[in-house]
């Protein structure tokens, strides 16, 4: 029995032709429908597309950057790290690597790679996910669209890419891409990524480093070399293969690059510590330009010098730590629970637990945070935040010995889990470690050029992250005896000469005040010169009595002191008013530069992202007689007194340690040693320039630094440490010749016309009665 014939068995060829025609008609219908649907979608979405202004007038979001005067970056402010670079300035190797790996037909297509689309479709049908976005499409997505994958976004991306290609040239599109693309670690664009990952400019990168960066755009989180170097290198090797395939490099270059050991920069924290200055710059820029300054690429150039700033920071830290090492043990910073030692606790368990316990404790590059693993009376085993374990012997436990005593109070005790600070004696392997404390005391330091007022170094406190308050510019403190040179300067123009005798004897004022000398001793009559060198308080008070408070207040105003912040009584002689380290530095600059007021300058200039000047500090006023604040002869005599202070007075260490005679200055210690100061300068002689520096130490909540502490013991060492570095290689300037209007009599200098004024032979001596000689006295002072 046979089966009935069917159309395709009766006439297969005819059936096949009908089937093919049916399929063709169906496909054409589908294509037509698809085309109509696509045309409708294009017609629908085209009016919704954004303007291309973002790419035609590209304004990259660049951070606010702050630099020293010699170009060292201090800080960046802003969510994005970006360094805009024109495509013509980019190394060809970097450009070619990006094109080879991201879009090898970039120079050929019109914004959409149809070959790439076909390849992606086939790959996706085969179960593999593969994108087909060109560099132009990525620019469209980066600037205008979300990253969410939807048919609508893909269509808009393609339409925008076509429009971008019509509006912009290939080089401009590549420039946009290479400056805007996110590459991990808050770095946007390849110039910023080169600095972030390698600490280098693009032009300095090797083939291996270029390939690593070129592999980041695909997935910067996954191939981040900071968090997963192995994964990043796998991606790098794929990039190298594509670079070879595209003819960018040879196989030999690729092999050498794959074998190169990469040195990844694991931190972007600036090594130059100028955080207080960076904050000053940030506040000034935001006040002037608004919060948009964080993304406009504004650059602030300060007057700081990188070497001076580093020397100042190191000097201040050494000084503060030396003081704190003499203070009683205050106990550990915290106590964390660690698993109890025993058979069930392995060394790895303890190491992991210690690392976890330190996770939330801020580390410091000098005062390293550590946790105690084992405690014994003469040794500690501690672990640092990086996992390194240290055994600290008895020599390193002097500060913390009270915490290791058998009967130590609970808040002082050092035991397993205690969080402490440790310090290495020197930055080299094997140097001994010791337990230290995070200081409670604060300090400040500022140095400036006496001729221009440009600030060369400024340290506003021991640590900005712990205390952002800027003690250089904001801390109004009593200057103590560091104010005395300005009292003595006033005396010189009111009849008192260096050889004038003043009685160093007990004194009680009408209101019962009994000032004391810091050493508690009284040495009777002495010259004004000797009195300043030895910082005799009673001499200063008697000089102020003789001159009158209004006279001295008016004269101090010539140096920049605010009379409203000074006492209107005899305590002015002892520096009981208020000043900041910056104001005091400006006052000493008048002495250092020959008698001219200068305005301290920190912000030198501000530019936009393209280098256009937005602000420039006003130029220094010329040093001519019309601008003079203090007579030249007064300055010369005052400086001769200050040179004696550093030669054989309370700051005799200055000339002895620095081994140069061109340094001048004055110590300052307030009542109960609440504030410790040293202010001084190195003079460039007749050139009327020089380097002024002021160091201060004290507690934020005023308290005594200790009965044996003084400006000479606390602030002077900081000043000397800085000056030793800042003046290295600077030849000592000879003492300037006496200026006109001075004569030398009996071994000391005085005004040539002194006898025609109201000369004071002596002050406060019993034979004088009221301490003032007759107005017509003409004899020469001893």
Of 106-115, 206-215, 292-301, 658-667, where does mean pLDDT reach its minimum? Answer: 106-115
Q: Would you list the DSSP string of 343-376? A: TTB-HHHHHHHHHHHHTTSPP-SSSEEEEEEEEE
Gap between the Cα atoms of 52 and 672, Å rounded: 69
Q: Is the pLDDT of residue 38 over 60?
A: no
Q: What is the band of 610 on the pLDDT scale with cuts at 50, 70, 90?
A: confident
Taking domain 480-576+752-782, whether its CATH number is 3.30.360.10 is answered by: no
Both structure tokens of 378 = 């003469």
pLDDT tens for 680-726 read 999 876 666 799 999 999 999 999 999 999 999 999 999 999 999 99
pLDDT value of residue 751:
95
pLDDT value of residue 54:
62
Domain ranges of the chain: 53-64+81-259, 65-80+272-326+444-478+578-744, 334-436, 480-576+752-782
Q: How many residues does the chain have?
A: 782
pLDDT (average), residues 94-117? 83
pLDDT (average), residues 221-241? 88
Q: Is the pLDDT of residue 131 over 60?
A: no
| Fold exhibited by the domain 65-80+272-326+444-478+578-744 | Beta-lactamase (3.40.710)
Q: Is the pLDDT of residue 193 over 80?
A: yes
Residues forming the active site: 102, 481
289 Cβ partners below 8 Å, 6+ apart? 296, 298, 614
Which class does domain 53-64+81-259 fall in?
A: mainly alpha
For residue 197, report the phi and psi dihedrals to the nearest 5 degrees.
-90, -30
pLDDT tens for 319-337 read 999 999 999 999 999 999 8
3-class SS string, 281-316: HHHHHHHHHCHHHHHECCEEEECCCHHHHHHHHHHH
Gap between the Cα atoms of 572 and 566, Å rounded: 7
Rounded to whole angstroms, what are the CA distances from 229 to 226, 265, 489, 733? 6, 11, 65, 55
Please name the residue that has the structure tokens 């004004």. Answer: 528
Taking domain 334-436, whether its CATH number is 2.40.50.140 is answered by: yes
Tell me whether domains 65-80+272-326+444-478+578-744 and 480-576+752-782 share a fold: yes
What is the number of other CB atoms lying within 10 angstroms of the CB of residue 711? 32
Of 119-128, 358-367, 402-411, where does mean pLDDT reach its minimum? Answer: 119-128
**By C-alpha distance, which of 546, 563, 545 is closest to 554?**
563
pLDDT value of residue 30:
65
pLDDT tens for 195-217 read 989 989 999 999 999 999 999 98
Residue 690 near residue 740, CB atoms below 8 Å = no
Rounded to whole angstroms, what are the CA distances from 364 to 86, 319, 384, 422, 466? 38, 17, 11, 10, 11
Q: Is the pLDDT of residue 276 over 90?
A: yes
pLDDT tens for 43-56 read 544 554 566 666 66
pLDDT value of residue 687:
62
Gap between the Cα atoms of 242 and 245, Å rounded: 5
């Amino acid at each position: 029995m046979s089966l009935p014939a069917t159309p395709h068995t009766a006439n297969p060829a005819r059936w096949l032709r009908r089937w093919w025609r049916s399929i063709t008609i169906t496909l054409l219908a589908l294509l037509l429908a698809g085309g109509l649907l696509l045309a409708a979608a294009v017609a629908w979405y085209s009016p919704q597309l954004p303007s291309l202004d973002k790419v035609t007038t590209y304004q990259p979001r660049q951070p606010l950057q702050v630099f020293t005067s010699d170009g060292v970056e201090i800080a960046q402010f802003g969510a994005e790290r970006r360094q805009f670079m024109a495509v013509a300035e980019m190394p060809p190797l970097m450009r070619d690597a990006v094109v080879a790996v991201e879009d090898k037909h970039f120079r050929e297509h019109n914004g959409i790679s149809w070959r790439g689309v076909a390849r992606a479709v086939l790959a996706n049908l085969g179960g593999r996910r593969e994108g087909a976005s060109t560099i132009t499409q990525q620019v469209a997505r980066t600037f205008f669209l979300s990253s969410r994958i939807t048919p609508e976004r893909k269509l808009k991306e393609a339409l925008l890419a076509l429009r971008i290609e019509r509006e912009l040239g290939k080089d401009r599109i590549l420039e946009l891409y290479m400056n805007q693309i996110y590459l991990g670690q808050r770095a946007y664009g390849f110039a910023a990524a080169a600095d972030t990952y390698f600490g280098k400019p693009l032009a300095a990168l090797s083939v291996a480093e270029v390939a690593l960066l070129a592999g980041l755009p695909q997935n910067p989180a996954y191939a981040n070399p900071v968090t997963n170097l192995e994964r990043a290198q796998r991606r790098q090797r794929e990039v190298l293969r594509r670079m070879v395939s595209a003819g960018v490099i040879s196989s030999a270059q690729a092999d050498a690059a794959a074998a190169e050991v990469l040195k990844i920069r694991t931190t972007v924290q600036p090594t130059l510590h100028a955080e207080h200055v960076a904050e000053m710059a940030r506040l000034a820029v935001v006040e002037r330009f608004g919060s948009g300054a964080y993304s406009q690429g504004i650059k602030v150039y300060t007057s700081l010098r990188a070497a001076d700033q580093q020397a100042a920071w190191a000097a201040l830290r050494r000084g503060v730590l030396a003081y704190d090492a003499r203070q009683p043990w205050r106990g550990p910073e915290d106590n964390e629970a660690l698993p109890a030692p025993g058979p069930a606790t392995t060394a790895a368990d303890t190491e992991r637990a210690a690392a976890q316990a330190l996770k939330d404790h801020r580390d410091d590059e000098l005062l390293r945070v550590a946790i105690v693993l084992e405690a014994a009376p003469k040794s500690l085993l501690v672990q640092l935040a990086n996992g390194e374990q240290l055994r600290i012997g008895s020599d390193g436990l002097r500060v913390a010995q009270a915490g290791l005593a058998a009967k130590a109070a609970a808040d002082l005790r050092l035991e397993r889990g205690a969080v402490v600070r440790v310090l290495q004696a020197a930055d080299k392997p094997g140097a001994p470690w010791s337990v230290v404390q995070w200081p409670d005391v604060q300090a400040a330091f500022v140095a400036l050029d006496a001729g221009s007022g440009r600030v060369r170094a400024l340290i506003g406190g021991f640590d900005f992250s712990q205390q952002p308050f800027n003690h250089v510019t904001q801390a109004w403190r009593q200057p103590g005896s560091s104010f005395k040179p300005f009292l003595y300067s006033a005396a010189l123009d009111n009849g008192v000469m260096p050889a004038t005798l003043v009685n160093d004897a007990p004194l009680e004022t009408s209101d019962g005040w009994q000032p004391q000398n810091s050493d508690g001793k009284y040495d009777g009559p002495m010259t004004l010169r000797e009195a300043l060198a030895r910082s005799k308080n009673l001499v200063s008070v008697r000089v102020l009595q003789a001159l009158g408070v209004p006279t001295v207040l008016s004269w101090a105003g010539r140096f920049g002191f605010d009379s409203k912040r000074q006492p209107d009584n005899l305590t002015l002689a002892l520096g009981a008013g208020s000043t900041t380290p910056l104001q005091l530095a400006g006052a000493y600059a008048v002495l250092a530069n020959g008698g001219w007021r200068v305005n301290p300058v920190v912000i030198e200039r501000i530019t936009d992202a393209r280098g256009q000047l937005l602000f420039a500090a006003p130029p220094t006023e010329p040093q001519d007689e019309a601008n003079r604040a203090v007579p030249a002869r007064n300055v010369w005599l005052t400086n001769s007194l200050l040179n004696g202070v550093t030669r054989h007075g309370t700051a005799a260490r200055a000339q002895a340690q620095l081994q140069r005679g061109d340094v001048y200055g004055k110590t300052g210690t307030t009542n109960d040693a609440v504030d410790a100061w040293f202010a001084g300068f190195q003079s460039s002689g007749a050139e009327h320039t020089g380097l002024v520096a002021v160091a201060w130490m004290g507690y934020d909540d005023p308290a005594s630094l200790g009965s044996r502490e003084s400006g000479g013991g606390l602030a002077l060492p900081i000043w000397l440490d800085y000056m030793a570095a800042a003046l290295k290689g600077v030849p000592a300037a000879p003492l300037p010749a006496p200026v006109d209007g001075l004569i030398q009599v009996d071994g000391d200098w005085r005004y040539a016309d002194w006898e025609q004024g109201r000369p004071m032979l002596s002050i406060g001596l019993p034979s004088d009665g009221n301490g003032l000689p007759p107005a017509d006295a003409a004899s020469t002072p001893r």
